[in-house]
Structure 1
Amino acid sequence: MAVEGGMKCVKYLLFFFNLIFWICGIALIGLGIYVQIYLNQTLTISSASASGTPIVLIVVGVVIFFISFFGCCGAAKENYCMVTTFAVLLGLIFLVEIAAAIAGYVFRNQVQDVFRDALNDSVSKYNTSQKAKDELDSIQQTFSCCGANSSSDWNNYPPFKGSGTVPDTCCKVIVTGCGKNSTNINKTGCVQAIDDSIKKYVGIIAGVALGIAFFEILGIVFACCLMKGIRSGYEVM
């Protein structure tokens, strides 16, 4: 027996919100891939803790993508079992997202430590590894920074040790030999510069996450209402 009246409206609303969930799933997958590529381009990550967040985003996005299937089919067919499955799975995803947000906040300092260790390693290998040199030069140009913690880091490693000079990529205006001019050098370390850059996007990511959470709560509410309507229809029959 098909649902009627207000429940029919709920049915179409649930179908519409599942379309939103489907889009949100794709958005999370895209965001996770972007963050992972961003981290890999920034520096070589040797610890799983730094790439944990993008992996969680991708996994949650894929799960939401498939969960929306149950919601759409359940709403269209008025299938009590599928709508129930959708509501339960969506509730679990909501709890996982809350846990991931808490974990991200708790371990945020560890991620910064990973950046610091990787950058210190690159600085120490700058004169012996072409890969480390290319990566660090790219980072220093991209983030307008110098060294891991500050420009003074270079005073500890050859070929700059004791010379008071730094790589030309540390310069505000990059020209050959500019690393010898202390007035043209970025003083901020790359750990701080990268951290500041990431913080610029925290508000956007938090806004997207809150928006998705809001739609998930609505989806659960509408699913429960539709479940009640479908069950009432069965009882009438």
Structure 2
Amino acid sequence: MNFLECMRRFSQALLIITNSIVGLLGLAVLILGIWAQVSGRDYFDFLSLGADYSPVGILLIVVGVFIVVIGIIGIIGAIFAGTLFGRITLGLYAVILGLLILCEISIGIAAGVKRNDLNSYFRDSAQQTFNESGSDPSKADTWNTLQTLFDCCGVNSYKDYRYLNGNNSVPASCCNPNATDFCDSIRLDVTNNTGYYISSAGCVDVLVSGVDTYLGAIAGGGIVFGLFQIIGVVMACFVAIYKDRENKYEVV
């Protein structure tokens, strides 16, 4: 067995493994899309998307299915690489993956350029839903959920409640998790906060910081994933082309 044949078999096995991983990642995106469609309403309400949130979950579901299909195509092409069907499948896989890489690069550049605009929109939307929470029970429920979940209070700080209702009262969801017993025995308002009873961090700062952290992780993961995709294109072409040459030599 020569070196090129060893490389072909190694590339074939690696294509099967990497595309199995890609398929699992697609399944994770699909599950996230289903969650967004079923249980993500509070977070979309926070961004004042309201009933318009549905396309986000649907988009994630479509993307997840697309990634799963790509993984399946790659696996099938690698398994049947010794046949004409397998080589055609690998060629289709390489073309789709190449187009996907170009789309990811474009989206990455656009996301980097619009990042500040996104943060500004995030803050403005949060302020809008916060202002509406004084008269809209559904918005108030959304804020209570987020404040409890992320240990925060108000848009910028707990002091925002002074301007919301005019009586300095702060909802129980702003209580510091470490001071629950104290919160049950005192009146929660802006004036008696000592930095302990009421969570002092604003929800937008907490969420933006978390989003920035996750975006950094996603960007790093995207770079690694992109490199794997480029390697996948090269391996798919190599496996298909090398097998074709091998068959031609055998015929001659």
TM-score normalised by the chain length of structure 2: 0.75
1:104 maps to which residue?
Answer: 111
* Aligned mate of 1:70, from 73, 86, 92: 73
Q: Which moved more, 1:199-208 or 1:64-73?
A: 199-208
Q: How has the CA–CA distance of structure 1 residues 211 and 95 changed in structure 2, closer, same or farther, with 3 Å as cutoff?
A: same
Q: How has the CA–CA distance of structure 1 residues 178 and 215 changed in structure 2, closer, same or farther, with 3 Å as cutoff?
A: same
- 2:235 counterpart of 1:231: no
Q: How has the CA–CA distance of structure 1 residues 13 and 114 changed in structure 2, closer, same or farther, with 3 Å as cutoff?
A: same
| CA drift at 1:75 | 2.2
Written as runs of structure 1 = structure 2, the 5 A alignment for 1:49-68 is 58-68=61-71
1:41 maps to which residue?
Answer: 42
1:170 maps to which residue?
Answer: 174
2:163 maps to which residue?
Answer: 156
C-alpha deviations, 1:59-99, integer Å up to 9, x for none? 44322211223222222222221111111111111222222
Written as runs of structure 1 = structure 2, the 5 A alignment for 1:79-98 is 79-98=86-105
2:235 maps to which residue?
Answer: 222
8 Å contact 2:29–2:63 — kept in the other structure? yes
State, as a whole percentage, how many aligned pairs show the same letter.
Answer: 30
8 Å contact 2:41–2:53 — kept in the other structure? no
| CA drift at 1:223 | 0.7
Number of matched pairs: 231
Aligned to 1:232, what secondary structure does the other structure show?
helix
Structure 1 distance, partners of 2:39, 2:117, is 18
Q: How has the CA–CA distance of structure 1 residues 110 and 35 changed in structure 2, closer, same or farther, with 3 Å as cutoff?
A: farther
| CA drift at 1:195 | 0.9
Structure 2 distance, partners of 1:31, 1:212, is 18
8 Å contact 1:56–1:100 — kept in the other structure? no
8 Å contact 2:48–2:126 — kept in the other structure? no
C-alpha deviations, 1:158-199, integer Å up to 9, x for none? 2xx1x4443333332342422252213333321112112223
Structure 2: gaps (5+ residues) = none
Q: How has the CA–CA distance of structure 1 residues 47 and 103 changed in structure 2, closer, same or farther, with 3 Å as cutoff?
A: farther
- 2:192 counterpart of 1:181: yes
Structure 1 distance, partners of 2:80, 2:44, is 49
TM-score normalised by the chain length of structure 1: 0.79
Q: How has the CA–CA distance of structure 1 residues 32 and 209 changed in structure 2, closer, same or farther, with 3 Å as cutoff?
A: farther
Q: Which moved more, 1:110-119 or 1:66-75?
A: 110-119
| CA drift at 1:147 | 1.6
Structure 1 distance, partners of 2:221, 2:56, is 15
Q: How has the CA–CA distance of structure 1 residues 212 and 103 changed in structure 2, closer, same or farther, with 3 Å as cutoff?
A: same
1:200 maps to which residue?
Answer: 213
| CA drift at 1:32 | 5.2
Alignment-mate amino acid for residue 5 of structure 2? G
Structure 2 distance, partners of 1:169, 1:19, is 43
Structure 2 distance, partners of 1:38, 1:190, is 20
